[in-house]
Chain A
């Protein structure tokens, strides 16, 4: 079954404690992306990756890091989380964007609370 998985689904942590949210897709997609979703603000892109070892900043990258060492995985790293990073996070993947790009596939979301 084609899918995007994220772990953990729920996480409560404290300020300053490094954490990683994993994202994995089994569709051999080149393009992967992280978004955060906040009430009334909709979805905002944090980072994206066009392929292995190719990553770039989205609209709200501050306080986040990503890596793309393998095609299937795109972890989101918060080196020193702060309460303003409390949010709902979505990972998404799609084939390499082209003129006729396919739809994006979304993970189930990770709800992060930073105390």
Chain B
């Protein structure tokens, strides 16, 4: 299968920006997704980017896509304690397959 990699842990101070990174291997990706999983909840779709875009901004969230390097990032501005969660990136390929990263646990320190 395809390889989608993320670092496992990230800690930031409240009010700082968080940047969660993801790399993938399949160059035929169509959509790339960011999901948030809070304790006790299922996955929540945060945002997605179509593969022909290089940036998407949605309030405090900025998604950057470097298709040449197959690198995706999620930046959360002014990180709050409520942002503490596990963040998954996922790559959808041309064949409508979906591959998840391992998840990055974001801890926001008050």
Contact = CB atoms under 8 A, between A and B. Distances in A.
Interface of A: 33, 35, 37, 39-45, 48, 58, 88, 90, 92, 97-101, 103-104, 106, 108-109, 111
A42 B86 contact: no
Contacts of B31: 39-40, 42
Chain B interface size, as a band, is: 20 to 34
A57 to B, nearest CB: 11
Interface in B56-102: 86, 90, 92, 96-98, 100, 102
Contacts of A44: 45
Contacts of A97: 39-41
25 contacts: A33-B42, A37-B92, A37-B98, A39-B31, A39-B96, A40-B31, A41-B45, A42-B31, A42-B45, A42-B48, A43-B33, A43-B43, A43-B45, A43-B90, A48-B42, A97-B39, A97-B40, A98-B39, A101-B39, A101-B40, A101-B86, A103-B37, A103-B102, A104-B37, A106-B100
A35 B48 contact: no
Listed residue (A39, A100, A101, A108) with the most chain B CB atoms within 10 angstroms of its CB: A101
